[in-house]
Amino acid sequence: MRFFFLFVAVFFAAHLVAAKPDSAGLVKAGFSAAEKQYAYMLSAYTDLKLYPRSADPNGKTTFTTIGDWTGGFWPGCLWYVYEYSNDEKWKSAAVKWTESLEKNQFNTNHHDIGFMMNCSYGNAYRLTGNESYKRILIQSAKSLATRFNPVVGAIKSWEVFHSWDGKAVYNFPVIIDNMMNLELLFLASKLSGDANFRNIAIKHAETTLKNHYRPDYSSFHVVNYDAKTGKVLSRETAQGFSDNSAWSRGQAWGLYGFTNVYKETGQKRFLRAAIKMAEFYINNHNLPADKIPYWDFNVNQAGYTPNWKYDASRFKEIPRDASAAAITSSALLELCRYVNGRQKEQFFSMAKAILQSLSSPQYTAAPGTNGYFVLKHSVGSIPHNGEIDVPLVYADYYYLEALLRFKRFRF
Ligand code: GLY
């Protein structure tokens, strides 16, 4: 009899969790904040050549132009608000901003076309099925594929990389962020039937797993290759604290990217890697109690020495990076779908804890402030002295994506 009551209690508890993953109303609150901020943004800024990206120290929105890596996030945010609200006004804004990026389908200047086109046109195609978007996505993948070098087995990220110590210049840098651009290639294979895009993505992931990761599954930011032989020439950082440190957003890009490669391939080696990356974040002794990471996991630690001009006295506290947290939360909610038992609960709890922190007034801006972005306290690049403790459009994008994944999640 006791077992019967226990069974009934467990059944109802499980049912409750399944029925109400969002008992605290995080999703509603997050999208309500987004709707308010983005209504201000849309009415204040109508020039389709200026893409909202961040805010200056006075809280005024800053922008980039079409060639920058972040242009696709603003339309992407609008698509997520439309997906949540089903309100046509967000759709028409999302269409307008998405279509402003059309010329980027031919952009072969850097690897970021995946971010630019998948977050805008990828969401547009997913939510509307518009056939003209499909052609643009396939052409975008073709442009990205031009940067693949079969000898290296990777897509070249940037044209050039200058070491911070000024001693070397490299011509085939690959950064961990590049894992995010593979999603466009997998999509293009499905849309076109051409397996080449997918093969390139898998090869790039293999090479990255082999050369970017340390035994503890922290990642180097930049790996420089010899384009003729494929040999690794150096492993360094561009945006992290030191060459041997774990830059928080890089960790997030890797976790998200490898989770997606597992989703697309079903190959267990990629799942095992993503799990290790998730564990690196979750078990990290240097992860603050609110689960929003410092901008790099190793700032100011013994054994980590920056090669750039770092002045610790400039920072009363080590800046956090809400963008890394938002990307991590979204990635964990995807990874949760492929694991079971204690691991599933652990990854889900961490994703939820991050969302709870991001949704608190500590990280969510009051309406009308923060350059009309939702989240505060992200970091672009401290070594480059740019965008420190500011809103960033991609923090908002992955936060909204995580909220939608959280809403859909069922144990
Ligand atoms: N992909 C550039 C960054 O994460 O800052």
Residue 370: name the closest of 345, 392, 338, 400 by CA. 392
pLDDT tens digits for range 184-208? 999 999 999 999 999 999 999 999 9
CA of 190 to the centre of ligand 1 (A): 27
Task: Looking at 243-307, list the stretches that DSSP marks H as alpha helix, in order from N- to C-terminal side.
Answer: 248-265, 268-282
Domain ranges, ordered by start, for the chain: 20-408
Architecture of domain 20-408: Alpha/alpha barrel (1.50)
Longest dimension (CA), the chain: 75
pLDDT of 411: 86
Query: Which residues contact ligand 1 via a Cβ below 6 A?
Result: 69, 177, 239, 249
Query: Where in the sequence numbering do the catalytic residues fall?
Result: 112, 177
Tell me how far apart the alpha carbons of residues 381 and 21 are, in angstroms, rounded to a whole number. Answer: 35
pLDDT of 322: 99
- Residue 128 annotated as binding? no
CA of 288 to the centre of ligand 1 (A): 22
Tell me how far apart the alpha carbons of residues 255 and 270 are, in angstroms, rounded to a whole number. Answer: 10
Residue 292 DSSP code? P
pLDDT < 70: residue spans in the chain: 1-21, 23
pLDDT tens digits for range 102-112? 999 999 999 99
Conformation bin of residue 388: beta by default, left when phi > 0, alpha when psi is -120 to 50 = beta
- Residue 112 annotated as binding? yes
pTM for the model stands at 0.95
pLDDT of 12: 41
- Residue 47 annotated as binding? no
Ligand 1: residue whose CA is nearest its atom 1: 177
